[in-house]
Amino acid sequence: MSSISTPLTFTKMHGLGNDFMVLDATQAPIDLAPEQLTLLADRHFGVGFDQLLLVESSRQKDVDFNYRIFNADGSEVEQCGNGARCFAIYVRDKGLTNKNPIRVATSAGIIQLSITPTGLVKVNMGIPKTKPSEIPFITGQEADFYKLETGGELVKLAVVNMGNPHAVLPVASVDTAPVQRLGALLESHSCFPSKVNVGFMQVLAPDAIKLRVYERGAGETLACGTGACAAVVAGRRAGWLNEKVKVYLPGGELEIEWQGNGTPVFMEGSATTLYDGVWRGF
């Protein structure tokens, strides 16, 4: 991407502590070089964020907006569930649309965002993919769970693509799970050629789990919407969870609903606007 030097008007938002810098590119394109993105993401010298969200005009019929997501390391990713909820609140509050629901195109496909009467956002995250080739995940035979050697130990994990790739590890306790160590090892494991987000799931009851997620290109975040969806899909496929599940993340809770194979996953949760600002640091 080419770089820009003009001031950037932005909004800072978060979804359960997973924080974002949101830019409106509906009137004029915004192209940021990777080094500019990493500077903006720096929490000491920049704005600070887990991901940057770019709101663009629609490029196709029957879609209201285009949605791009960039990680703190400057890489572009396919999907972000917490970001999608913030996206819905942003375009409504900025007067960019009065539609409800809102159809948004991502590089992973079209998602539908609905703002509820209570101000929460419900997102149709699409039908999950679990075949190894769809993650992508290099393995022999398809299974609900796989065993993978990393860092001198054998770990058990499920794989799910929710528009981006996820590995889900069942653990006895998320409080003691080696999130930083195993997350970093698995993120760039050779069996995941596009890298992977790594979730650590503790099943509390058939309708409740605790989750911590080490995100590709960002490290551990306070919440991960697609990670919550992936964890519920993995738990449902294993027979541990009901159709509706409360997911407790370090930053708060989400409600995830999945009826089973061939049906879309629905995510519902909050999105919070913090402040507007202007970046003049380039």
Q: Would you name the residues annotated as active-site residues?
A: 80, 224
d(C-alpha 208, C-alpha 278), whole Å? 40
Q: Cα dihedral sign for 237, 240, 244, 246?
A: negative
Q: How far apart are CA 28 and CA 30, in angstroms?
A: 7
Which one, of 238, 271, 242, lies nearest residue 254 by Cα? 271
Over the Cα atoms of the chain, what is R_g? 18
Measured CA to CA, the distance from residue 128 to residue 229 in angstroms comes to 9
| Secondary structure of 26-40 as H, E, C letters | CCCCCCCCHHHHHHH
**What is the 8-class DSSP label of residue 61?**
T
For residue 153, the cross-strand partners are 150
Neighbours of 257 (CB within 10 A): 17
